[in-house]
């Protein structure tokens, strides 16, 4: 009788272990399946002037390459605060370096004071020829509309 109880407990443990192992395997395949691939956006679609929705804050992504890295330059300003693109000193406050890899948009904001650089990382949610949306690390989504320049 004791052998039967030991055998039953042994088989119960094997069954539980096999069930847990199967559940982990199913969960892992759902995490790495083809439907969960990170979207890839084209950096060329970023180029141009963008206006943040509901504000007078502008962002310009340029094709100007930073000579020492793979980053390109951009600028941002807020006309509601009486700051205009023409007010920005080259490579100072209001300027940033950026790169887009898949959906990760990295901006390194340049500061006049001591040459400080402040990194910011966003995840691009949507990028078309007329619309840009990205979210920050807190999940806040910022929306922009592309401005057609004359």
CATH number given to 43-147 = 2.40.128.280
On the question of pLDDT at 23 being above 80, the answer is: no
pLDDT value of residue 149: 85
- Is this model's pTM higher than 0.85 or not? no
Q: Render 68-112 in DSSP notation, one character per residue.
A: TSS-EEEEEEEGGGT--GGGPPTTSTTEEEEEEETTEEEEEEE-S
Tell me, what's the pLDDT at 47?
A: 97
Can you give the residue ranges of every domain in the chain?
A: 2-36, 43-147
- Write out the two tokens for 132: 């840009």
Q: How far apart are the first and last CA of the chain?
A: 91
- pLDDT of 121 above 80: yes
> Can you give the pLDDT at residue 35?
56
Distance, CA of 102 to CA of 8 (rounded, Å): 53
Query: pLDDT band at 12, cuts 50/70/90?
Result: confident
Segment 69-74 mean pLDDT: 95
- Summarised one tens digit per residue, pLDDT across range 24-50 is 666 666 555 555 677 899 999 999 999
């Amino acid at each position: 009788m004791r052998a039967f109880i030991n055998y039953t407990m042994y088989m119960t443990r094997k069954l539980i272990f096999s069930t847990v192992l199967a559940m982990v395997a199913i969960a892992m395949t759902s995490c790495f399946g083809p439907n969960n691939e990170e979207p890839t956006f084209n950096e060329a679609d970023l180029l141009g002037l963008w206006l943040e929705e509901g504000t007078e804050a502008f962002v310009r992504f340029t094709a100007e390459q930073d000579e020492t890295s793979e980053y390109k330059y951009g600028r941002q300003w807020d006309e509601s605060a009486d700051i205009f693109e023409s007010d920005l000193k080259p490579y100072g406050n209001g300027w940033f370096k950026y790169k887009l890899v898949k959906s990760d948009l990295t901006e390194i904001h340049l500061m006049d004071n001591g040459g400080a650089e402040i990194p910011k990382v966003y995840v691009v949610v949507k990028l078309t020829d007329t619309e840009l949306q990205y979210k920050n690390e807190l999940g806040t989504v910022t929306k922009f509309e592309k401005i057609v320049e004359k």
